[in-house]
Structure 1
Amino acid sequence: MANDIARYFAAEPEREDAIAGIATHLKRFWEPRMRAAIIAHCNDAAGTGLDDLARAAVERLARG
């Protein structure tokens, strides 16, 4: 699902805007346990399977 969101935001001309948009979407619309699970996946499995933009957004989300 995070990769689908990243594909949507990939149309943003600025990479940072895309990352911010993805992180904002995850924060607003994903329930806390979903966010915790994807953050754990990035920490434990280096985000295997995540698009580069999605991984960057999850890393930003994890930083707060």
Structure 2
Amino acid sequence: MDKSNLIKMANDIGSFFKSEPDRALAIQGVEQHIRNFWEPRMRKEIVEYLEKGGADLMDIVAEAVKKL
């Protein structure tokens, strides 16, 4: 899958959970959504992207991806 599309999708999830006042719950929400709804190949690609720097990921998304 195109990395830019994965990044956009991940950040869209992050934007949804960003309004959660508890940062830990927001990160957990992003992580759980990715675990539940992304296929393994997509999860692997976003993890690899983060390992290479992940500059375009929102902070809470990067934290969530670290937990995958």
Q: TM-score, normalised by structure 1?
A: 0.90
- Taking the aligned partners of 2:27 and 2:62, their CA distance within structure 1 comes to 9
- Taking the aligned partners of 1:27 and 1:35, their CA distance within structure 2 comes to 8
1:17 counterpart (18, 25, 49):
25
Q: Give how far 1:20 is off.
A: 0.2
Give the letter aligned to residue 48 of structure 2.
A
The runs of at least 4 aligned residues of structure 1 exceeding 6 Å deviation read: none
- % identical aligned pairs: 45
Q: How many residues get paired?
A: 60
Q: Which runs of 5+ in 1 are unaligned?
A: none
- Taking the aligned partners of 1:37 and 1:55, their CA distance within structure 2 comes to 13
**What root-mean-square deviation, in Å, do the aligned CA atoms of Structure 1 and Structure 2 show?**
0.6
Q: TM-score, normalised by structure 2?
A: 0.85
